[in-house]
Chain A
Amino acid sequence: MANEYYEFFCPVKMVAGFKALEHIPFELSSHDASRPLIITDRGVRGVGLVDIVTKALEAADMQAIDIFDDVPPDSSMITVATIAALYREKECDSILAIGGGSVIDTAKGVNILVSEGGDDLRAYSGTGVVKSPLNPFFVIPTTAGTGSETTNVSVIKDDKTGAKVPFVSPFLLPDAAILDPRMTLSLPPKITAATGMDALTHAVESFTGLAKNPISDAYATAAMKKIVTHLPEVLKNPSDAAGRLQLAEASTMAGIAFSNSMVGMVHSLGHSVGAKCHVPHGLCMSILMPHVLEFNLSVSSENIGELLLHVAGSDVYASTPVAERPAKAIATIIALKEEMYALCELPRKLSETGSVKETDLEDIARMALDDGSMLLNPIDATFEQALSVLKKAF
């Protein structure tokens, strides 16, 4: 027996499906909460998504005590402290986060301060510093990609130093994630495609990384199947609410998978491309994923071969010889990328983003080696190898 061991943890209640938002008043009252503060951003509020939630609350004689809608694209400690002061001033007792990754990370930070006390979030930075349950906290994702509603991490920028500070604790997880198709219906096609590919990358890297385990595999593979089935359909018919819900569920399932198994080199490179050239995260994932899988083939061919069953289906899997499955799995993902390009012109190469120059690649490769995701990639890449992958993706 090898030294195999794993841990799996996800206490987040899933409230998912038709009219899921109307369950929020009950969820609040079951946590003895009645004075929620809504945290969101201007884009989300501007397209009317917050109104759907507030109307659902009002119909149950409950109302949001206040709405903070100025969360920036990068969560910041000043924003967290500002929102915490608002929460205390208005005597709120719970948080509803409506948005994507930045809003959710910001809300996690706010919940630390309003539950633990103090105004300086830095005091709680690091792993396991928060050691007790926080105030009632509910997340309503408006993108289907980040999976932040199921992660125990929040990364928030220190405005003084510019450093991105991690906060890690199981108590950061929300009490419930509310997945309602109305929240993602208005997502533009390109963002739908990019966030869907982000979720697919979470599932693929969770399934092929060093920390994979049987339970996260189950979530990852189910998520892959949902994404490859429904992402093209939703792009062809953006008002397909059932398909949107499938993608939201897939994103959350991929989030559960990677929050337990972590991610690998696609994320190391992608974080660095994003930091250097400001390319959206999901787009980086989509572009880089097949190239990193090819790089990892020498040690992960079995796991990559097994991907074929989940991204191409049982007929293709059964009719493909074992030795050809890894290459066919990668080819299937490349074909999906081509389909995304045909449907919404989602860039297929770094050069097509218009934001990355070939001269940036060396810096990106260097930064990627210091990214924590590299630790759980099946192979430790050297600078030259990381650069070679980036050049292929360019």
Chain B
Amino acid sequence: MIPIKKGFEADIDYNYQRMYVSGMMQLISHMLKAGSQVDDVIKTEVAEMPDGFVFRMNVMPGELSLTMQKQQGALVNLTNYTDKPDLTMSFKHVTFAFLVFSFQEHTAQAYANERLIIDGDVPTSMKVVRCLNRLQTVILPKVVAKKAVKTYPDLEFIQKIQMTTKTYSQFLVNLVKER
């Protein structure tokens, strides 16, 4: 059972937030890889990123992070990348990452609320944000996705189901291949 702190507002223990954020980062990096292989919107955004482009999303001081690179037209996960990425999106604290990954606050609002620092090439950072928004729109139920993104796009139910199925299927295929 997850312990809830009592106080000004009920909150989840930082250790559980860290575990949740770590898991979500793993999931998002794998889903983004799958999305960049099968989703036309994400594929178009990735196509306009420079080859070899590396972006990282992390939680300061850096123990939690996901790093991805554009390779052969799609995004792949990097596990031991030590150079400075072309783009870094850093949450100032694990609890701010938790707010975003638990869909209480979308990425743009986190940036507006000074919880997230974006450092790097601005035009490409906008493409990455759009990829993340599209991914959340596709893989989450609409009621959750509407909280996770600033503007929920016009997406018919049938289209959404098709894209959700394709993305999750590719995610599973990738998991099997990587084993």
A and B assemble together: yes
Interface residues, chain A, CB within 8 Å of chain B?
Answer: 1, 3-7, 126-128, 166, 209-211, 262, 369-372, 374-376, 378-380, 382
Nearest chain B CB to A212's CB is how many angstroms away? 8
In the complex, are the beta carbons of B111 and A375 less than 8 A apart? yes
Contacts of B113 in A (CB 8 A): 3-6, 211
In the complex, are the beta carbons of A3 and B99 less than 8 A apart? yes
In the complex, are the beta carbons of B112 and A7 less than 8 A apart? no
Contacts of A375 in B (CB 8 A): 108, 111, 126, 129
Contacts of B112 in A (CB 8 A): 209-211, 262, 376
In the complex, are the beta carbons of A128 and B122 less than 8 A apart? no
In the complex, are the beta carbons of A370 and B119 less than 8 A apart? no
In the complex, are the beta carbons of A127 and B151 less than 8 A apart? no
Contacts of A5 in B (CB 8 A): 113-115
Interface residues, chain B, CB within 8 Å of chain A?
Answer: 9, 99, 104-105, 108-109, 111-115, 117-120, 122-127, 129-130, 133, 149-151, 153
Instruction: Determine the residue in chain A with the shortest Cβ distance to B48.
Output: A370
User: In the complex, what distance in Å separates the CA atom of A166 from the CA atom of B125?
Assistant: 13
CB within 8 A of A379: which of B120, B130, B151? B151
Which 6 A-B pairs give the minimum distances between C-beta atoms? A370-B123, A211-B112, A380-B151, A210-B112, A372-B122, A127-B119
Contacts of A127 in B (CB 8 A): 117-119
In the complex, are the beta carbons of B126 and A210 less than 8 A apart? no
Interface SS of A by simple majority: loop
- From known contacts A127-B118, A380-B151, infer whether A3 and B109 are also in contact, taking CB-CB under 8 Å: yes
User: In the complex, what distance in Å separates the CA atom of A380 from the CA atom of B112?
Assistant: 14
In the complex, are the beta carbons of B126 and A371 less than 8 A apart? yes
Contacts of A371 in B (CB 8 A): 122-123, 126
User: In the complex, what distance in Å separates the CA atom of A17 from the CA atom of B119?
Assistant: 38
In the complex, are the beta carbons of A210 and B108 less than 8 A apart? yes
User: In the complex, what distance in Å separates the CA atom of A369 from the CA atom of B130?
Assistant: 10
Contacts of A211 in B (CB 8 A): 111-113
User: In the complex, what distance in Å separates the CA atom of A378 from the CA atom of B151?
Assistant: 8
Nearest chain A CB to B156's CB is how many angstroms away? 15
Contacts of A1 in B (CB 8 A): 9
In the complex, are the beta carbons of A126 and B119 less than 8 A apart? yes
CB within 8 A of B105: which of A3, A7, A372, A376? A3
Instruction: Determine the residue in chain B with the shortest Cβ distance to A298.
Output: B151
User: In the complex, what distance in Å separates the CA atom of A369 from the CA atom of B126?
Assistant: 8
- From known contacts A3-B99, A379-B151, A380-B151, infer whether A166 and B122 are also in contact, taking CB-CB under 8 Å: yes
In the complex, are the beta carbons of B133 and A376 less than 8 A apart? no
Nearest chain B CB to A365's CB is how many angstroms away? 14
Contacts of B109 in A (CB 8 A): 3, 210
Most chain A CB within 10 A, of B105, B113, B120, B125, is at: B113
In the complex, are the beta carbons of B129 and A128 less than 8 A apart? no
Nearest chain A CB to B167's CB is how many angstroms away? 20
User: In the complex, what distance in Å separates the CA atom of A210 from the CA atom of B107?
Assistant: 11
In the complex, are the beta carbons of B126 and A370 less than 8 A apart? yes
Contacts of B114 in A (CB 8 A): 5-7
In the complex, are the beta carbons of B125 and A380 less than 8 A apart? no
Contacts of B125 in A (CB 8 A): 372
Contacts of B119 in A (CB 8 A): 126-128
